[in-house]
């Protein structure tokens, strides 16, 4: 209600003190300025929104209805982002680490787009393929190509991007201070399910050698496993979801090396307590959040974020996946990912964790 009240004040003040001016199409080479209904401050409140910029660019005065719709959408988006960022500030308060404590390897998920002043921290299994496609497209000349024209595996080549870790420290700080920084996050348990389906069931040679074989040997007690992933697939060799969870819970896993990025905690990839993000998107509202981000970047009329075709895992489906995981193991798993749940505002899955 507060936002509606603010809009009414804008409209009232605008009607009292000034009017909106809009540029009309030229007539015989002369630009004509038309005086529209008195609403300038309301127009000011909403007029920076991209939809209205497009109308002005085309020489059409937006109607009051369009102004209200744009303003309400902008306020709703702003409120949502404020809540997400306030939550991060709340849970990060009191930390004693600084940006200087990060090593180069801690910044390898940060993609820099100097052309548009963007820094994107990508998190595997959270729409990162499509965001990489979009950023690649934005570095072409206008009109930008369709992001979906770039092949899936091709966009994951690091040579396609500038990474924050490759810049001198002083330049990193300057970019982090002045560029628009964003990330997209996802329910941690749903992200784990997605990682399992992609990397444990549909594995390539890298994931087979480094992870699938280890899990099969350690928890399935299988020996004489083939060395080639194609042979293993032909034999139907794959870990169960519970065996994958056992691998994550096993202290030996992190003793050897940090979690593989597809199941590493999101806060460890993107450091939200050390880097103040301008936009925090959620996979659960991906298309809406992507559009809001493109509006923030003033790019929504220049490029379209690709549609998502991945089947989103429902709450019931999550329950089905975790049926094979004992209660105590679920609780241990939650403790590993608890900071992701708390920092990014995901609900504690009581149906999985309580007796």
Q: Strand 30-35 to strand 21-27: parallel, antiparallel, or no bridges (unpaired)? A: antiparallel
Q: 92-106, pLDDT tens digit by residue?
A: 998 888 888 999 999
Report pLDDT for 44: 43
- Do residues 53 and 192 both lie within one domain? no
Q: Does residue 244 share a domain with residue 115?
A: yes
The pLDDT score that the predictor gives to residue 94 is: 84
> Of 92, 114, 142, which residue is a domain's last?
92
Structurally, the chain folds into a number of domains equal to 2
The verdict on 131 and 247 lying in the same domain is yes
* Residue 226 within any structural domain of the chain: no
Closest CA to 233 of 253, 259, 207: 207
Looking at the fold, whether 123 and 33 belong to one and the same domain comes out as no
**Does a structural domain hold residue 229?**
no
Give the number of other CB atoms < 10 A from CB of residue 42: 24
Q: How far is the CA of 49 from the CAs of 66, 180, 262, in angstroms?
A: 11, 17, 35
Q: What residues of the chain score a pLDDT lower than 50?
A: 11-52, 54-57
Determine, yes or no, domain membership for 215. no
Which pLDDT does position 27 carry in this prediction? 36
Q: Could you tell me if 57 and 106 lie in one domain?
A: no
Under a CB-based contact definition with an 8 Å cutoff, are residues 99 and 275 in contact? Answer: yes
- CB-CB contact of 139 with 115 (8 Å): yes
The answer as to whether 208 is a domain residue is no
Helix (H) or strand (E) holding 181: strand 180-185
Q: Final residue of a domain: which of 57, 92, 127?
A: 92
What does the pLDDT read at residue 18?
A: 41
Degrees to nearest 5, angle at CA 245 with 321 and 257: 150
Only one residue has tokens 């099969």, namely 216
Residues 349, 313, single domain; the answer is: yes
DSSP secondary structure letters along 1-23: -HHHHHHHHHHHHHHHH---EEE
Stated pTM of the model = 0.80
* Structure tokens, 136: 């690649």
**Which CATH number goes with the domain that contains 114?**
3.40.50
Note down the domain range covering 244: 102-203+238-355
Calpha distance 15→55 (Å, rounded): 21
């Amino acid at each position: 209600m507060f936002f509606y009240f603010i809009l009414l004040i804008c409209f009232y003040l605008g009607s009292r003190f000034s009017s909106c001016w809009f540029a009309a199409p030229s007539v015989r080479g002369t630009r004509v300025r038309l005086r529209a209904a008195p609403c300038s401050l309301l127009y000011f409140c909403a007029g920076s929104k991209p939809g209205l910029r497009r109308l002005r660019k085309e020489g059409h005065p937006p109607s009051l209805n369009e102004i209200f719709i744009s303003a309400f959408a902008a306020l709703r988006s702003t409120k949502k982002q404020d809540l997400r960022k306030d939550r991060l500030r709340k849970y990060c308060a009191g930390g004693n680490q600084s940006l200087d404590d990060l090593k180069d390897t801690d910044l390898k998920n940060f993609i820099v787009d100097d052309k548009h002043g963007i820094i994107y921290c990508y998190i595997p299994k959270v729409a990162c393929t499509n965001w990489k496609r979009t950023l690649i497209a934005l570095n072409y000349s206008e009109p930008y190509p369709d992001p979906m024209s770039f092949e899936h595996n091709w966009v994951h080549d690091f040579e396609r991007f500038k990474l924050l870790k490759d810049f001198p420290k002083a330049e990193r700080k300057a970019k982090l201070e002045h560029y628009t920084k964003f990330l997209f996050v996802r329910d941690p348990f749903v992200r784990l399910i997605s990682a399992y389906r992609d990397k444990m069931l549909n594995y390539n040679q890298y994931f087979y050698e480094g992870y699938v074989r280890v899990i099969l040997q350690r928890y399935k007690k299988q020996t004489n496993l083939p060395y080639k992933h194609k042979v293993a697939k032909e034999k139907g060799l794959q870990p169960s979801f519970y065996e994958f969870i056992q691998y994550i819970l096993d202290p030996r896993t992190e003793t050897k090396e940090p979690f593989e990025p597809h199941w590493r905690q999101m806060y460890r990839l993107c450091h939200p307590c050390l880097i103040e993000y301008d936009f925090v998107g959620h996979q659960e509202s991906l298309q809406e959040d992507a559009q809001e981000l493109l509006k923030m970047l003033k790019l929504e009329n220049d490029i379209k974020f690709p549609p998502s075709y991945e089947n989103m895992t429902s709450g019931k489906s999550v329950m089905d996946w975790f049926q094979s995981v004992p209660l105590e193991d679920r609780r241990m798993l939650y403790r590993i990912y608890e900071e992701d749940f708390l920092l990014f505002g995901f609900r504690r899955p009581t149906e999985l964790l309580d007796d």
